[in-house]
Copies of this chain bind each other. A is one copy, B any other.
Amino acid sequence: MKSPAELTETFRANGLKVTPQRQLLFGLMHGNTVHPTAEALFAEASARMPGISLRTVYQTLTDLASMGELRLIDVGAGATRFDPNTDDHHHVVCSSCGEVRDVYVAGSDRLKVDGLDGFRIEEASILFSGTCVTCASETVSRASARG
């Protein structure tokens, strides 16, 4: 995702207004690596700008996504995640706490794939799922506590 300053230019150049709500969200998403949900972002935004609406958060997020500044990530659990990292990358999700992290994969061009005949493929995404280090250690300590 571009910087808030660059986005300001881009928005104006496209006939879109740069409102305080949008500026706030530009700032909250820029460099954000946690892959937040709209609700999570709404909570952060509300702390800084009481009264901002969830509707506006969704609006701005989907606007940014349709401009290619944001990727929508579906980790198959509840809400969509928003990702300002537009590099070619994949994700791993903790099935316990929902944490999402970036995963970079090389060599996917050498995979032997069977079943795509007839399809014009536009995208391939790999989703790893498992247990993050925090959740793993919590499980361990609970087990010890029980004896």
Contacts and interface: CB of A to CB of B under 8 A. Distances in A.
B115 A106 contact: no
Contact of A119 (B76, B92, B114, B122): B92
Per assembly, the copies of the chain total 2
A131 B127 contact: no
Interface residues of A, number: 38
Nearest to A119: B130
Nearest to A129: B123
B120 A131 contact: yes
B120 A128 contact: no
A112 B106 contact: yes
A50 interface: no
Give the one of A113, A129, A136 with max B CB within 10 A: A113
Given A110-B110, A111-B108, A127-B127, A103 B122 contact: no
A89 B124 CA distance: 14
Contacts of A124: 126-129
Interface of A: 74, 76, 89, 92, 94-95, 101-108, 110-116, 118-133, 136
